[in-house]
Structure 1
Amino acid sequence: MSRDFIPRYWAAACQTDFPNPADRSAIPQRVDHMLGMIDRAVVGYRPFGDVKLLVFPEFAHAAPVYATVEELADRLALPVPNEHTDRYHRKARELGVYVQTGSFLEADPRHPGCVFNTTCLIGPEGLLYKYRKVHVWLPWEVHASPHDLPGYAEPVFPVAETEIGILGCAICYDWLFPEAIRELALQGADVLIRVSAYMDPWGATAPMDWWTVVNRCRALENLAYVVAANQGASASHYPPFSWPGGSMVVDYDGRLLAQADPGPGEKIVVAPIDLAALRAERERRSGHHMLAHRRTEAYAHALRPAYPTGAAAGGPITLAGNDARTREAKERLKRG
């Protein structure tokens, strides 16, 4: 990395608890509130460290509360960038911070009939990348994945080189696929950002606690920090699920640096990101350097097709289509 970087700063994982919006008219009020959370985190923690990265959860702007693409597009989807990302940019420029937005439901005229689940990294210089969820949560989500679109030409796993390190993000279910997060790490990501809406019983509570296990594992196997913001909505706000929160920051050895108490509710947790220490460890280590020790040529099955490509080629994605493609993928696994 050639540019100068800030060797040590703080990151804030900011979880939200909003009523479920029925249409896009409710989004400006959510943005108002999250801008206020940014102010509180930056100013409130200033005696302890400089908060430079703020991460918000999946569905912070809008959740996929309708069963069809047509309804989502009509009532909740927006182009990205938009007036709301402009507001985040103004705040990022005012405070000198980087904001990983909660996700939007995105409509893009270049991909008619599709809705994406999209989060943006926004810094003082503007919108740095737009990430569209690759592994949508099947069968319930009818968003399009970049994988679903023939000829998709944009970066699927973008990263951004910034003064607070190389940053890369993936959304919720993406994190259950080590290959997805490894795509970010292999592009040099120092900080892996998780924008998530993880529900019970897989959240930050026993006996499963996939949330903590996966966040810590992705950190240590990629020798990178993880900043993970989870949805903190109560069951009455985002039914039919309850949302356990537990937003956290994990260091590059899988150590839990900070975590919100499990349970719904709006919370902010902060922890230091020591970029200089991370870079020194990556340079020094000859043991437990999993990125360097990969035997890539030995992974003969890694690129075998699984879930069918081109799901959005024949029109809007449906729940029934999701189920059918999953059955097809399972048959492929049986055939070997």
Structure 2
Amino acid sequence: MPSTTRFYAAACQTDLPCPRSRDELPGRVDHLLGMVDAAVVGYRPFFDVRLVVFPEFAHAAPIYETAEELLDRLAVPIPNEHTDRYAAKARRHGVYIQTGTFLESDPKWPGVVFNSTCLIGPDGILTRYRKVNPWLPWEVHASPHDLPGYDEDLFPVAETEIGRLGVAICYDWLFPEAIRALALNGAEVLIRVSAYMDPWGATPPMDWWTLFNRARAAENMAFVVAANQGASLANYPPFSWPGGSMIVDFDGRILAQADPGPGEKIVVGPIDLAALRDERRRRQGHALLSHIRSEAYTGLYDRPIHRPPFRG
């Protein structure tokens, strides 16, 4: 399929019970592949949907207290049979799929669990992103940043026929450096795979979900496609998840958003890369990426700042 600068993205949110065993994953993937069909085929008379995004924990959540338990019961390697099925679906429809997260095992890192999402296109896996900033103290999976000798790109960006796509997961988005790293690596569409719970979710008065999605779009002059978990308290305790999945343009305008509240929903919105590229070329004011005086900040991170969480 030829490259395009104008297409639609679908942000899909789910409301499904937490799997307790990897044996439940094939049925879960059946359901998510059905949502891909719904987004692409259902909207075909109206929109050319080329990008489909799922939320964090769409496949599995870290419901056990230790990495050992997660490795024993839920973690899977990547690639796997499920990513193969996504690739087949992407080929069938000529689309790109940002998977919901997997709990990932990797024989190169024994004893470690990653929270990972894959960008999958018609030719297979294009990027694998491992969450750099686990949500402490709840998430026991590892940050690749913290592993001595880890040599893969922490913030990969894929060059595709629908533009340059970069992703980060949920809590990563509260760190401007993480999303700026994607932008400086060339990302035009910033994808957020998220499970952002109440009270910080998509409802006032503490709507961090909308706040950070819009801020990251504007400060990096990029589109944002953000899929949030929409699970009810019954499905993903101890939190409720308000959904509100959205598409935001490069000036921070919300182009489409699911109504806040639990429930399975698909929201579709336009991505106009031609407009973005024109603005990046011509804009003089608020051209934040080209106005960065990076040398002014070089001393800020000369020493490690991250500290282990306080356990009480």
CA–CA distance in structure 2, aligned partners of residues 112 and 131 of structure 1: 18
Match of 2:130 in 1: 132
Question: What is the DSSP-based 3-state SS (H/G/I as helix, E as strand, rest coil) of the residue aligned with 1:142?
Answer: coil
Match of 1:221 in 2: 219
Give the residue type in structure 2 aligned to 1:156: L
Match of 2:92 in 1: 94
Match of 1:313 in 2: none
Match of 1:334 in 2: none
CA–CA distance in structure 2, aligned partners of residues 85 and 307 of structure 1: 33
2:158 to 138, 155, 160: 160
CA–CA distance in structure 2, aligned partners of residues 173 and 268 of structure 1: 22
CA–CA distance in structure 2, aligned partners of residues 7 and 118 of structure 1: 28
Superposed displacement of residue 206, structure 1 = 0.5
Give the residue type in structure 1 aligned to 2:245: S
CA–CA distance in structure 1, aligned partners of residues 66 and 104 of structure 2: 14
1:1-336 mapped onto 2 (5 Å cutoff): 5-299=3-297, 300-307=299-306, 322-323=309-310
CA–CA distance in structure 1, aligned partners of residues 47 and 18 of structure 2: 34
Superposed displacement of residue 47, structure 1 = 1.6
Superposed displacement of residue 307, structure 1 = 1.1
List alignment gaps of at least 5 residues for structure 1. Answer: 309-320, 328-336
Give the residue type in structure 2 aligned to 1:323: F
Superposed displacement of residue 148, structure 1 = 1.3
Question: What is the DSSP-based 3-state SS (H/G/I as helix, E as strand, rest coil) of the residue aligned with 2:292?
Answer: coil
Give the residue type in structure 1 aligned to 2:208: W
CA–CA distance in structure 2, aligned partners of residues 114 and 8 of structure 1: 40
Q: Deviations over 1:194-222 (max 9, x none)?
A: 00000000000010100000000000000
Superposed displacement of residue 322, structure 1 = 4.2
Superposed displacement of residue 303, structure 1 = 4.1
Give the residue type in structure 1 aligned to 2:62: P
Superposed displacement of residue 45, structure 1 = 1.0
Match of 1:331 in 2: none
Match of 1:311 in 2: none
CA–CA distance in structure 2, aligned partners of residues 155 and 133 of structure 1: 12
Q: Deviations over 1:65-92 (max 9, x none)?
A: 0000110000000001100000000000
Superposed displacement of residue 323, structure 1 = 3.2
CA–CA distance in structure 1, aligned partners of residues 90 and 16 of structure 2: 23
Superposed displacement of residue 301, structure 1 = 1.2
CA–CA distance in structure 1, aligned partners of residues 226 and 302 of structure 2: 28
Match of 1:332 in 2: none
Q: Percent identity?
A: 73
Superposed displacement of residue 304, structure 1 = 3.3
Q: TM-score, normalised by structure 1?
A: 0.91
Q: TM-score, normalised by structure 2?
A: 0.97
CA–CA distance in structure 2, aligned partners of residues 273 and 48 of structure 1: 14
Q: How many residues align?
A: 310
Question: What is the DSSP-based 3-state SS (H/G/I as helix, E as strand, rest coil) of the residue aligned with 1:127?
Answer: strand
Q: Deviations over 1:31-77 (max 9, x none)?
A: 00110000011111112221000000000000000000110000000
CA–CA distance in structure 2, aligned partners of residues 120 and 252 of structure 1: 24
CA–CA distance in structure 2, aligned partners of residues 141 and 20 of structure 1: 15
Give the residue type in structure 2 aligned to 1:207: P
In the TM superposition, structure 1's runs of 4+ consecutive aligned residues that sit over 3 Å from their partners are 321-324
Give the superposed CA RMSD: 1.1
CA–CA distance in structure 2, aligned partners of residues 19 and 287 of structure 1: 47
CA–CA distance in structure 1, aligned partners of residues 73 and 96 of structure 2: 29
CA–CA distance in structure 2, aligned partners of residues 189 and 223 of structure 1: 10
Give the residue type in structure 1 aligned to 2:207: D
CA–CA distance in structure 2, aligned partners of residues 76 and 18 of structure 1: 16
